[in-house]
């Protein structure tokens, strides 16, 4: 895995603007706040009669999904189209790589298409970073999830949802519940919450689903819902990443639900105005009770709406950073 300084040098311009969005780790609070503020300006677009703005007119965005995804791919596609970009969706898991073509060969083919932005989802940690290192200098790369490493736009849409409902992060206690070990979303959420100054970040999971030394990330660890959820303001439930589990880390899904599934009874430990979040897709009756997922404190559908706005913000900011960088190099 590349060092964090290496990530910073690749995803930021010398002036500190975004040119790729690979990870939240190491980014400063001002840049995260700029992403949230920019996204806020896009949130209401879905209510407008004309849902397009010309920020990426004439640009081509290629969605390179080496892993299957419905929600993430759909929101990236819609975000690009609302920015007036041309969009190319490539489900590469069913095309060239299944015939033995390597990631580098696929990338060379795509470079010949003269795309302006690659949105990358891959099962290997570091794949988006690898592509960012090998694209031409005028191409922006957005990480749509790589292995167990990062899912930065998901974390940022979660931050936007929290800010809309709770305001200042400095007063909040946030609990992240479930499969922390395999979750790239959890890692990105923790980095974002820490950077934005969250008062207390908790992770709640069985020991078999907790990474070693996770306390080093600045979180408090709990293995019991009754203690971990006490007086929290935000509850983020995670999907069980069964496809990433190498061994039988759980006795059964029903046992997991009994101990860690969010029910009305367990929700009572949290603050009365606590909000409930889930990155989706939800396994009802495994991670969360349907009545809770659809209840008045759930903001899960707000997360979906905010996903479009955040992805519009990141894409527009990265393209702007690339354009300014290329203008400077041309002038030199």
- Residue 221's beta-bridge partner residues? 203
Query: Is 291 marked within a binding site?
Result: no
Of 5-14, 188-197, 257-266, which range is least confident? 5-14
pLDDT exceeding 90 applies to what percent of the chain? 70
Over residues 36-74, the pLDDT tens digits come to 999 999 998 877 777 899 999 999 999 999 888 888 999
DSSP tag of 112: T
- Range 276-280 average pLDDT: 95
d(CA 33, CA 43): 15
Nearest residue to 275 (alpha-carbon basis) of 240, 229, 227, 310: 229
Query: Is 151 marked within a binding site?
Result: yes
What is the three-class DSSP state of 216?
helix
Average pLDDT value for the chain = 89
All domains of the chain, ordered by start, with CATH? 4-150+305-331 (3.40.50.1370), 152-299 (3.40.50.1370)
Query: Is 72 marked within a binding site?
Result: yes
Nearest residue to 288 (alpha-carbon basis) of 246, 323, 251, 236: 236
- Range 137-158 average pLDDT: 95
d(CA 121, CA 106): 14
| All residues at 6 or more sequence positions from 323 whose CB lies less than 8 Å from its CB, including other chains | none
d(CA 207, CA 324): 47
> Residue 101: what pLDDT?
63
> Residue 246: what pLDDT?
53
Residue 261 has pLDDT above 80, yes or no: yes
Pick the more confident residue, 182 or 151.
151
Query: Is 239 marked within a binding site?
Result: yes
d(CA 119, CA 307): 14
Tokens of 101: 């073509």
Q: Where are any strands of DSSP class E within the chain?
A: 60-65, 86-91, 117-122, 140-146, 173-177, 200-204, 220-222, 234-237, 275-277
- Range 208-213 average pLDDT: 92
Query: Is 57 marked within a binding site?
Result: no
CA angle, residues 318, 311, 240, in degrees to nearest 5: 125
Residues 213 and 242 sit within 8 Å (Cβ to Cβ) = no
Residue 64: phi and psi, rounded to 5, are -100, 95
CB atoms within 10 A of CB 197: 12
Pick the more confident residue, 283 or 325.
283
Query: Is 297 marked within a binding site?
Result: no
> Residue 321: what pLDDT?
84
CA angle, residues 105, 109, 110, in degrees to nearest 5: 115
Torsion angle (degrees, nearest 10) of CA 93, 65, 133, 141:
170
- Residue 119's beta-bridge partner residues? 63, 142
Regarding pTM above 0.75, the answer is yes
Pick the more confident residue, 171 or 135.
171
Q: Where are the alpha helices (DSSP H) in the chain?
A: 4-11, 29-43, 71-82, 103-111, 127-134, 152-166, 184-195, 225-228, 253-260, 264-267, 290-293, 300-331
Query: Is 202 marked within a binding site?
Result: no
The β-bridge relationship of strands 234-237 and 140-146 is: unpaired
Residue 98 has pLDDT above 70, yes or no: no
Query: Is 154 marked within a binding site?
Result: yes
Residue with tokens 């190319």: 88
């Amino acid at each position: 895995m590349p060092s964090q300084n290496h990530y910073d040098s690749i995803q930021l311009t010398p002036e500190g603007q975004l040119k790729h969005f690979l990870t939240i780790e190491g980014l400063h609070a001002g840049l995260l706040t700029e992403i949230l503020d920019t996204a806020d300006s896009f949130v209401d677009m879905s209510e407008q009669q004309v849902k397009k703005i010309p920020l990426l007119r004439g640009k081509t965005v290629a969605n390179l999904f080496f892993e299957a995804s419905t929600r993430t791919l759909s929101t990236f596609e819609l975000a690009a189209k609302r920015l007036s970009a041309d969009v190319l969706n490539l489900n590469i898991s069913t095309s060239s790589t299944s015939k033995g073509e390597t990631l580098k060969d696929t990338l060379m083919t795509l470079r010949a298409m003269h795309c302006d932005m690659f949105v990358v989802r891959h099962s290997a940690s570091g794949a988006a970073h690898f592509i960012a290192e090998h694209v031409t200098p005028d191409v922006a790369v957005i990480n749509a999830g790589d292995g167990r490493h990062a899912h930065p736009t998901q974390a940022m849409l979660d931050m936007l949802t929290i800010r809309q409902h709770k305001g200042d992060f400095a007063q909040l206690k946030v609990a992240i519940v479930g499969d922390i070990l395999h979750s790239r979303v959890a890692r990105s959420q923790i980095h974002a919450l820490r950077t934005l100054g969250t008062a207390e970040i908790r992770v709640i999971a069985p020991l078999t689903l907790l990474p070693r030394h996770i306390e080093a990330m600045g979180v408090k660890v709990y293995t019991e819902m009754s203690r971990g959820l006490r007086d929290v303001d935000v509850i983020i439930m995670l999907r069980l990443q069964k496809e990433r589990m190498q061994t039988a880390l759980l006795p059964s899904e029903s046992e997991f639900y009994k101990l860690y599934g969010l029910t009305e009874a367990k929700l009572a430990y949290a603050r009365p105005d606590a909000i409930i979040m889930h990155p989706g897709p939800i396994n009802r009756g495994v991670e969360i009770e349907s009545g809770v997922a659809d209840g008045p404190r759930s903001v899960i559908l707000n997360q979906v709406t905010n996903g479009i706005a955040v992805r519009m913000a990141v894409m527009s900011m990265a393209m702007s950073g690339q354009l300014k960088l290329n203008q400077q190099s041309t002038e030199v």
